[in-house]
Amino acid sequence: MPSQARDEDIVAVRRKMFRLLCRQMEVLNSPSLTELQLLECYHRQERVHELRAKLEGMLKEVMRPEVKLGCTPDELPAFTDNAASA
């Protein structure tokens, strides 16, 4: 997936989570909470968990070295600590 499209997908998931969490706070801060509102809160919380898992998967994909650098971890160059050898 191209970088810009992937970034847009990540932003879209974050926005969905933010909207759901804002709605949760609105409802939970209301003076009286009905059974229906509480049930809706549980459903929203489930959706937030699903989106969080999706976001974590997307971010792990971005952070994989072979995706970022176009190589596998075995092909990464060895890094030396120049400060330690000085």
User: Using CA atoms, how far apart are residues 47 and 20, in angstroms rounded to an integer?
Assistant: 8
Residue pLDDT, tens place only, 10-40? 999 999 999 999 999 999 999 899 999 999 9
3-state SS, one letter per residue, for 24-69: HHHHHCCCCCCHHHHHHHHHHHHHHHHHHHHHHHHHHHHHCHHHHH
Query: Which residue segment(s) compose the domain that 34 sits in?
Result: 3-85
Q: How many domains does the chain have?
A: 1
Residue 68: pLDDT band (50, 70, 90) is low
